[in-house]
Structure 1
Amino acid sequence: MSSAAHPVLDPPIDVTPDPDEFVRAAMEWHFSPETGSPYWLRRARSLDFDPRRDVKTHADLALFPNIVNELRDVPVRDLVPRGYGERPDIVGTFESGGTTGAPKRVVCLRDWLDRMVAWSNANLDTHGFPRGAQWLGLTPTGPHIVGRIFQESATTHGSLGFTVDLDPRWVKKSIASGRGDLADDYAEHLIDQAAFVLRTQDIGVLTITPPLLERLARRDELVDLVVEKVRAIRWGGTQMDADSRHLYRTEIFPGIPLYGHYGSTMILGIAGQRYGLGDDDPCVFDTFSPYITFSVIDPATGEPVPYGQRGQVVMHHVSKGLLLPNNLERDLATRIEAPDGHAGDSVADIAPVSHFDDQDVIEGVY
């Protein structure tokens, strides 16, 4: 039997909780001995504050230390709140990309994935994605949550999904070892696999990374197939600049909606491209507040940078299924004011830092 959570942690899909009330309820859930996870109940003993007493607002999440590097070694079952009972509905364990060393691991529960995908599907509707289409995804699968989100989106917003497996770690390892030729061959191999599907199947939605979309666009046959068949393109994994977005929308794939997302395994989800941006506007990403929120800070001081200025991205995930606040990401971004009622910041102009956690950062194809 699972323990009952405060109703604010389990609102209807179309209800956005008050961010501060939500954070307070989450602290009770994650740090109560009856409902909290073994990891956080153990970790709380080393904190210099009491989360149930001292974390009263969304801004107070900054009190937490950044613990994500501990997730390289923590048994994932220790991350599951006890309140879910003896047989929690776990849909998967997922790993970070391994860009900065050994991967970090998190666990995803069904109630969170359903909520995240429903929010994402509503964004797809807003951006003009067709319901019931067949999808093709050139995304990481295996231990990467983006592959699971693709499958859930393809079968709930669409009808079914075709996949081309993508191993971003192999590409990054090839580049790091000076074998850029191997990475190039591998990327072309991925496009070859996509070509087989595009030639033979009725693909209405294409999910792809910007580097692979650029390679696809070099092949006239595939451009013609996309223009003929595909009714919307969803991109993510690395950044796409405004000039490229304009070129795709107006010349290469005219009339096809182009929608981006920006996410991380450490938030078990994505932020979505703001609707209504002009061709010259930066690509702004809004979060699924209050569950997924961003801050853009000066890494030297930890303080927020002014709106319109660049800083390093801090990500927070707070849900019934997982608590992972105050994660300093390897990305720089421009701080943008979030929509009314949203906690935290929106972000634009994402770009990786060159060095993070004593490791060079390599993007590759994802």
Structure 2
Amino acid sequence: MTLDLTRILDLPSDVRPDPDELVRAAMEWHFHPDTGSRFWLERAKTLGFDPRRDVTTHADLALFPNVAAELRAVPAEDLIPRGYGRNPDVVGIFESGGTTGAPKRVVLLRDWLDRMLEWSNAQLDAHGFRRGANWLGTVPSGPHIVGEYFRRSATTHGVHGFSVDLDPRWVKRVIAEGRAAEANAYAEHVVDQAAEVLRSQRIGVLTITPPLLERLARREELVDLVNSKVHAIRWGGTQMDADSRFLYKTEVFPDIVLSGNYGSTMILGFAGERPGLSDTDPCVFDPLGPYVTFSVVDPQSLKPVGYGERGRVLVHHLSKSFLLPNNLERDLATRVEPLDGAFGDSVADIAPVLRFENEPVIEGVY
């Protein structure tokens, strides 16, 4: 591997590499026998092409099959590139939500976490999130990567992170079994716990899912409490429709910054809401490109739809720590032009498909 290619993978967070140069560097790293992971080195034998020779541009990533479903059974150690040495700085091993069958697993390494946090914190600054606040999060922890990102965001952008645990798999299970009353009681239980923290602690940032924010907004006491203490709300995990977003921004929480995330475990992070949108603009999400890039495509042909048209979200992740090209996510979105100088698509109006990998999609509270 050349020094130049290694340099591209290790550029500072405020320097964005050329997309094609990043592809070439990633192919060399992930498929070189000295640096690639066991998973990709073995998988390369079945691809029918040589990634180091044949994948030289971002468009060439279309050669790869979608291997996301295979991550359900791969030993976690086999996903870590050998180039990190005998003691890689593993932050954690995390799982997808299990919305559609057994969960998939990824390994989060320190260098990618740090890159995502630097970018995310700059996004928060652009939205007007004040530094040095305490955060409260009603987000999944345990095997879910969002809990780790919440904790790290709270302590790098803010000071302390208070959390209320959330088990989205249990909610999805009881909904699937027709036990709606039990799911409702569980969601109210989570809001009750968040209320206790809001009453007793100095909370400046609230991280919450749209279904739980809707429940919180039904309680006048909690609306008053949030408006008196919280200066910013960060939402994510499920969709927020345009009418609800407008209502929150203009009537329910008119003096509070409201900003969303769109992410998944397979992205190994999230895309952030574009700063500067008006109350009536669609909620547009921009990824951390060119490491994470979106394409909005026709799900049958995988060809891009036109700007302003609906399609499935196809994601490429290319970083030093992780490679997952051509992952067709379970979400529909409207294709939006990227910001000047950015690469790939931006997305808006996120919504889940009804079925994914032959399983019904149930969102629940996350």
Q: TM-score range by the shorter chain?
A: over 0.9
Q: 1 CA distance for matches of 2:272 and 2:36?
A: 30
Shift of 1:343: 2.1
Q: 1 CA distance for matches of 2:58 and 2:120?
A: 23
- Could you tell which deviates more after superposition, 65-74 or 239-248? 239-248
Shift of 1:53: 1.0
Shift of 1:166: 0.3
User: What's the counterpart of residue 92 of structure 1?
Assistant: 92
The 5 Å alignment of 1:342-361 reads 342-361=342-361
Query: Structure 1's 5 and 321: CA in aligned 2 closer, same or farther, altered over 3 A?
Result: farther
Q: Does 1:265 align with 2:256?
A: no
The 5 Å alignment of 1:59-70 reads 59-70=59-70
Q: 2 CA distance for matches of 1:296 and 1:4?
A: 32
Q: 2 CA distance for matches of 1:282 and 1:98?
A: 29
User: What's the counterpart of residue 135 of structure 2?
Assistant: 135
Q: 2 CA distance for matches of 1:346 and 1:191?
A: 32
SS in 1 for 2:172: helix
RMSD: 1.1
Shift of 1:341: 2.4
The 5 Å alignment of 1:1-366 reads 6-366=6-366
Partner amino acid, structure 1, of 2:57: T
SS in 2 for 1:60: helix
**Alignment deviations for residues 238-291 of structure 1 (CA, whole Å, 9 cap, x no partner):** 111121111111111111110000000001100000111122211100010011
Q: 1 CA distance for matches of 2:263 and 2:126?
A: 19
TM-score between the two structures when normalised by the length of structure 2? 0.98
Q: 2 CA distance for matches of 1:13 and 1:276?
A: 22
Partner amino acid, structure 1, of 2:183: A
**Alignment deviations for residues 326-350 of structure 1 (CA, whole Å, 9 cap, x no partner):** 1111110001111122221100000
Counterpart contact for 2:5–2:24, Cα < 8 Å: no
- Could you tell which deviates more after superposition, 194-203 or 278-287? 278-287
Q: 1 CA distance for matches of 2:60 and 2:120?
A: 27
- Could you tell which deviates more after superposition, 294-303 or 150-159? 294-303
- Could you tell which deviates more after superposition, 191-200 or 8-17? 8-17
SS in 2 for 1:285: strand
SS in 1 for 2:114: helix
Q: 2 CA distance for matches of 1:160 and 1:114?
A: 18
Q: 1 CA distance for matches of 2:188 and 2:62?
A: 43
Partner amino acid, structure 2, of 1:206: L
Counterpart contact for 1:242–1:279, Cα < 8 Å: no
**Alignment deviations for residues 165-219 of structure 1 (CA, whole Å, 9 cap, x no partner):** 0000000000000001111000000000001100000000000000000000011
Q: 2 CA distance for matches of 1:116 and 1:280?
A: 28
Shift of 1:4: 9.8
Shift of 1:233: 0.4
- Could you tell which deviates more after superposition, 339-348 or 262-271? 339-348
Partner amino acid, structure 2, of 1:173: R
Q: 1 CA distance for matches of 2:42 and 2:15?
A: 33
Q: 1 CA distance for matches of 2:237 and 2:60?
A: 29
Counterpart contact for 1:354–1:360, Cα < 8 Å: yes
Partner amino acid, structure 2, of 1:109: L
Counterpart contact for 1:4–1:83, Cα < 8 Å: no
Partner amino acid, structure 2, of 1:270: F
Q: 1 CA distance for matches of 2:270 and 2:113?
A: 11
- Could you tell which deviates more after superposition, 271-280 or 38-47? 271-280
Shift of 1:5: 6.2
Shift of 1:314: 0.8
Partner amino acid, structure 2, of 1:44: A
Percent identical across equivalent pairs? Answer: 71
Aligned residues: 364
Counterpart contact for 2:250–2:279, Cα < 8 Å: no
TM-score between the two structures when normalised by the length of structure 1? 0.98
